[in-house]
A and B are shown apart, each in its own frame.
Chain A
Amino acid sequence: MLDKQGIAQRIAQDLEDGWYVNLGIGIPTLVANYIPEGIEVEFQSENGILGMGPFPIEGDEDADLINAGKQTITAQKGAVFFDSAMSFAMIRGQHVQLTVLGAMEVSDHGDIANWKIPGKMVKGMGGAMDLVASADNIIVAMMHTNKRGESKLLDSCSLPLTGINCVKKVVTNLAVLDIKDGAFHLVERAPGVTVEEIKAATAGKLVVPDHVPEMSF
């Protein structure tokens, strides 16, 4: 079983040299801490920076330099600042190679719900709808089940949708799964996790190959 750091570390293994990457708030931001040796990626933050760097050293915080989660950050060498229309031109115009975001629910057709629980939590979608509607390569980073132990990988989302037919891959604390042809396809198990545990935690249609390797770190 993985924790949030483990999920982020596994996703980081998929990064390729020269990619521009957008990381959503929550678990996705942790991906920036695990860039594999020898490759260079640039992180785009929807609020207007390309070349987002790590958190500043204490004392160096700049109120004018934050990420999409409103946290103070730094800028890498070669970074650039721009306005929100330009930012979403990069996103909507498919200039970003990978988008990683969190979710409350994902369906076996690749639908995603991550912005509203009616009557209870209505924080808003922020940039999520633009990101999922435009990106070619979307990885969802989330826990496999919610706080009540219910599966978050469903045959259809019950919560208001952020996007439809858009998620291609999900990485959870239990597994890596691809989404295609109306089903979740089990690709890897988290260390120490069995196929049975993953089946029990997945409510949507799940295709399991004969051999499911364990994630390697």
Chain B
Amino acid sequence: MNKVVNSVQDALVGLESNMTLMLGGFGLCGIPENSIAEMVNMNVTGLTCISNNAGVDDFGLGLLLQGKQIKKMISSYVGENDEFERQMLSGELEVDLIPQGSLAERCRAGGAGIPAFYTPAGYGTEVAEGKEVREFNGKPHILESALTADFAIVKAWKGDTEGNLIFKATARNFNPMMAMAGKTTVAEVEELVPAGELDPNEIHTPGIFVQRIFKGDKFEKRIEQRTVRQA
């Protein structure tokens, strides 16, 4: 199987306006930078983006927000982006804020064929509005449904021609679950190797979930908060 595509343009063929997308990353860590930049070039609009955060004003998903390409965000925390907050408070941008653990599990469920599940997170808050409640072990839980996407765009450290992926450190975060839940999953990697080079024991995401893989041209890997201590 050869899932390799030669360019980010080839990777995103078929990605159209008004689609629902999943984008991996936590803050700016583990985001598919090259694909996001290409989506700006493609000028696709009306997108529904499922991603834990919204980037910062001039990097990550913030670039798509600047270009007014996103119609709706489904995220858990959007605090780092002033343009985001402005568009949200003015009503230009629809936002669904959902608990981070529920977001992760909803993506996993979407890829795993579990249409819905019960979780205690959000019971008693506005997150529970309109949702079925059931008690387990004497404690109320709310019913959350699976999330899927037309395209899931993930970033990995290493990948092979079969689409098997290995992630690095905390750049892993949402990428594995989103890879499972996309109808078409695109993986951008730092290192692309032939099948057989990655140890099967060490692969984090099996290639069965990945349809297209490409080596990113460059990764800025911006740091949001550079915190250090004295030697």
Contact = CB atoms under 8 A, between A and B. Distances in A.
B132 interface: no
B102 A130 contact: yes
Contacts of B103: 84
Interface string B56-99: 00000000000000000001111110000100110000010101
Contact of A81 (B79, B101, B172): B172
A123 B77 contact: yes
Given A70-B28, A85-B104, A87-B104, A122 B172 contact: no
A107 to B, nearest CB: 12
B89 A124 contact: no
A202 to B, nearest CB: 23
Contacts of B97: 115, 122, 124-125
A85 B177 contact: yes
A164 B127 CA distance: 13
A102 to B, nearest CB: 13
A92 B119 contact: yes
B139 to A, nearest CB: 9
Band of interface residues on B: 35 or more
Contacts, number: 181
Residue with the greatest number of chain B CB neighbours at <10 A, chosen from A65, A69, A72, A84: A84
Contact of A48 (B26, B77, B99): B26
B95 to A, nearest CB: 8
Contact of A55 (B85, B102, B229): B229
A62 B177 CA distance: 23
B30 interface: yes
Contacts of B175: 83
Given A63-B221, A66-B170, A84-B173, A126 B228 contact: no
B105 interface: yes
Say which size band chain A's interface belongs to: 35 or more
A72 B223 contact: yes
Given A64-B221, A124-B79, A130 B101 contact: yes
Contacts of B168: 64, 81
B163 interface: no
Contact of A133 (B80, B122, B225): B122
A213 interface: no
B108 A85 contact: yes
A40 to B, nearest CB: 20
B44 interface: no
A55 B223 contact: no
A64 B62 CA distance: 19
Interface of A: 45-49, 54-58, 60-67, 69-73, 75, 81-85, 87-88, 91-92, 111, 115, 119, 121-130, 133-134, 160-165
18 contacts: A47-B170, A47-B173, A57-B228, A64-B30, A70-B224, A83-B174, A84-B52, A84-B177, A125-B97, A125-B127, A126-B99, A129-B99, A130-B101, A130-B119, A133-B120, A133-B121, A161-B124, A163-B124
